[in-house]
Amino acid sequence: MISLDDVSVFIAVVENQNFSAAARELKISPSAVSKRINRLEHQLRAKLIVRSSRRISLSPAGSAFFEKCAGIRPIVDDATRSVQSLHAAPGGKLRVHTSAGLGIKLITSLIPRFQSQYSNIAVDLITHIQDPVAFAKGLDVFIRQVPVANKLLDHRELGISRYTICATPDYLRRAGRPQTPQELSKHNCLLYCYENEHLINRWTFKDRNGPYEVAVKGNFVSNSSAALFEAVIKGHGIALLPLYAVFDEIRAGALVALFNDEISFYRTLLAYYPRSPHLPINVRIFLDFVASHLKDLSLDTEEEPKKA
């Protein structure tokens, strides 16, 4: 059977037009190059390379063979890099881009724990209220909840981002705690508005009869979940927020989760990165870390949520 290594040596000789140059590229001796070419010619029973004192040329058989085999070497090199990337040691810089809300309330809280496991990785976190038109030079990954249509980017679903309805104990003492989701219509609800002016003023719930909506209203609207968090933590009303944004406050008792088993509002957290045959190891292990944390984030609901 013909060796792929011998074929790779043949291609290197042809591309370099010189045995010595091919040997330097392959980091083997010129005699090893000559030996492999001779072995290949013997196996094929054809003269492939016509040697002279100054340069080489291809025989008709060599030209035909090179034309068919020229595409093999990049495929082998690509497969080799793919395997090597799985075992490469993580290190260097990782540049992460996300929205202000995700960056402050989710990613920032994870970075110290991530770096305690991977101390050789330096993380640059860039937050922005607008989506980047294109990846800045050196940017590695962009995490968001709204899909991006860009053929230059690849993406991965990190998991379901659960939402919860919450308020401070002080607000609930002053305004009364709603006993049913329908009673939310009588409260000051803090509303999220997308930048296209789509207002989230109908909150979705589920009961044994299926999903249903409750129309809500309030005196504060923002396109920033970070701003809604500041408003709810200061007792201004009731908010619908991602669980990651209020998880610690609910556990600490600073916020109270309402209708936790009935809320039916979820988003998929997405990670985008430049399209490439191989996902860099720093990006892969960081996304695995975020996905694992997102999976563990729960207020012990009875039913696993489904994607909206």
Q: What is the pLDDT of residue 174?
A: 97
Q: What is the pLDDT of residue 148?
A: 75
Higher pLDDT, 71 or 272: 272
pTM, two decimal places:
0.62
Closest residue by Cα to residue 222 from 204, 201, 249, 243: 201
Residue 228 token pair: 């809604």
Cα distances (angstroms) measured from residue 265 to each of 83, 162, 213 = 40, 7, 10
Q: What is the pLDDT of residue 303?
A: 42
Cβ(222)–Cβ(173) below 8 Å: no
User: Is the pLDDT reported for residue 308 higher than 60?
Assistant: no
Report the distance separating Cα 251 and Cα 241, nearest Å.
15
* CATH 1.10.760.10 at 4-87, yes or no: no
Report the distance separating Cα 117 and Cα 146, nearest Å.
29
Q: What is the pLDDT of residue 299?
A: 65
Question: 112 pLDDT band (50/70/90 cuts)?
Answer: very high
Report the distance separating Cα 179 and Cα 175, nearest Å.
12
Looking at the chain, how many residues does it have?
Answer: 308
Question: How many secondary structure helices (H) and strands (E) does the chain include?
Answer: 11, 14
Report the distance separating Cα 176 and Cα 286, nearest Å.
43
Task: Give the position of tokens 């968001």.
Answer: 144
Q: Given 3.30.70.1290, 3.10.20.90, 1.20.140.10, 3.40.190.10, which CATH number is that of 162-266?
A: 3.40.190.10
Which segment, 58-62, 133-137, 150-154, 286-290, is predicted with the most confidence on average? 286-290
Report the distance separating Cα 241 and Cα 166, nearest Å.
8
Burial class of 277 by CB neighbour count within 10 A (0 to 12, 13 to 18, 19+): exposed
- The sign one gets for the Cα dihedral 100, 147, 94, 152 is negative
| pLDDT tens, residue by residue, 124-136 | 988 875 555 455 5
Higher pLDDT, 221 or 70: 221
Cβ(255)–Cβ(233) below 8 Å: yes
Q: What is the pLDDT of residue 16?
A: 85
131-140, 221-230, 274-283, range with the lowest pLDDT: 131-140
Q: What is the pLDDT of residue 175?
A: 96
Q: What is the pLDDT of residue 289?
A: 93
Residue ranges, CATH 1.10.10.10, the chain? 4-87
- The sign one gets for the Cα dihedral 285, 287, 293, 295 is negative
Buried b (16+ CB within 10 A) or exposed e, 259-275: bbeebbbbeebbbbbbe
| pLDDT tens, residue by residue, 134-192 | 555 567 888 887 777 777 788 899 988 889 999 999 999 999 999 999 999 999 999 99
Q: What is the pLDDT of residue 221?
A: 95
User: Is the pLDDT reported for residue 306 higher than 50?
Assistant: no
Residue 261 token pair: 């088993």
Q: Given 3.20.20.70, 3.40.190.10, 3.40.50.1860, 3.40.50.300, which CATH number is that of 92-158+269-296?
A: 3.40.190.10
Residue ranges, CATH 3.40.190.10, the chain? 92-158+269-296, 162-266
Report the distance separating Cα 181 and Cα 262, nearest Å.
8
What's the rounded mean pLDDT across residues 85-98? 78
Buried b (16+ CB within 10 A) or exposed e, 84-102: eeeeeebeeebbbbbbebb
What's the rounded mean pLDDT across residues 18-42? 88
- The sign one gets for the Cα dihedral 150, 151, 156, 159 is positive
What's the rounded mean pLDDT across residues 62-83? 73
Please list, in sequence order, all residues whose beta carbon lies within 8 angstroms of the beta carbon of residue 87, skipping any fewer than 6 positions away: none
Q: What is the pLDDT of residue 171?
A: 98
Please list, in sequence order, all residues whose beta carbon lies within 8 angstroms of the beta carbon of residue 92, skipping any fewer than 6 positions away: 120, 121, 122, 282
Arithmetic mean of pLDDT over the chain: 84
| pLDDT tens, residue by residue, 9-26 | 888 888 888 888 888 888
Q: What is the pLDDT of residue 302?
A: 41
Q: What is the pLDDT of residue 304?
A: 42
